[in-house]
Structure 1
Amino acid sequence: MTHEEPHGGVTSQKLNWLRAGVLGANDGIVSVASLVVGVAGATSDTGAIATAGTAALVGGAVSMALGEYVSVSSQRDSERNMIRVERRELREDPQGELEELAEMLQERGISDATARQAAREMTQHDALAAHLEVELGIDQEDLVSPWHAAFSSAIAFTLGGLLPLVAMLATDVSWRVGVTIVAVLIALAITGSTAAHIGGGPKVRAAARLVLGGALALALTYAIGNLLGTTGVV
């Protein structure tokens, strides 16, 4: 029987992208929902709500993309530097690196003789790849892409943010806040349980945390908007 486990290489990175996508969608849901509900608490003007919601959607997506691009670019630069260092060490002290690889394999529970044999065979096949994988957990053929991260983050945020915006604008004035809140809390429960499923954590607890946090954010922004609208500030 063949067991497929999500470890290392492409599978691990796909899981990371999926998790990041879910979290990005969650950010979009909460950020845009909080803004449109807050504005709706201050005014029933659909144009004002649409303008604020659209601005939040676009601005948030750009901000998420930029932040992810900078973060992943830094990570990739660090990985490339570690690859250069490892390549230089292999060139300058191949025997020392062979011993180091064998020791690392022994630390993983492999016997001395087997570890040394495995280290020799791995070095003969691809010394750099062996050290990157065992010592640093890096696959030089599968480095993260900042552009992919930026686009994925922006798309996830946009899809998440569209939910409260559409719910608010497509519903009658007397029902729009209630419908939006219900839709947002259901979406947060789904994203929370999905993120927990990907990470192998408890789904109910993760969903409950997001729902409670989202409900608090919506209540606060609506109360502030209502207060500002009542006092005539807005």
Structure 2
Amino acid sequence: MSDGPAIPRLGFDHIFPNPRYAMKAGLLAYGGDLAPDRLLTAYRKGIFPWYNEGDPILWWSPDPRLLLYPNDFKLHRSLRKKLRQKRFTVKLDRNFETVMRHCAEVPRHGQSGTWILPEIVESYKALHERGFAHSIEVYDEDGELIGGLYGVSVGRAFFGESMFSLRADGSKIALAHLVALAKTWEFAFIDCQIPSEHLKRLGAVCVDRGKFLDELEETQQYPGVPGSWKIYEELLEEINF
């Protein structure tokens, strides 16, 4: 009896199988490495790494895909009130590694452990240094980091990887500012990867993988906003919620 289709193993090159033919759950390939060029190739094709400690590197392109279209973001009344009070400061790309480590360490309901392993941190730091991975950071009035998110931006798309809160709504404040930047830069979507009830309540929707890949190809026809996002912090001051 067959055990199902074999999952291809990646070689030294950066060639991935066509994600349109991945299994429904999204597992596409295994192996390879987390070199910046391979990661960039993966994201441009709608593929991302996700695996646990002790496993080989696993590459995914799930169906359906959870996307947040900037204009569909649901800014609920309580969050809008908090945003207008401005008892916080939002910064960009100031403490990328710290944001990643908080995402790895902050406990999550129903989860144990983390997939943000030391080699993941090092690889995304390299992407950050090349201007493709970014962090949105929220600080309280005393300058303490209370929430944030990080992800990868190529073309007119942002691929959200993880977010954290040390205070109520810390990650939501970061997401609201990311959405505002995405509107300013005319990004097509924020990729949230896999279905999440929390993100659906904020306006994210499940999209057929084929539709997602079609839209992704369109976003890659544009240069996007590469380089450090620190220089764009003044844009945050112009946002009105």
Q: State whether TM-score is above 0.5.
A: no
Greater length-normalized contact order (CA 8 Å, ≥ 6 residues apart): 1
Greater C-alpha radius of gyration? 1
Higher fraction of helix:
1
Q: Which has the higher strand share?
A: 2
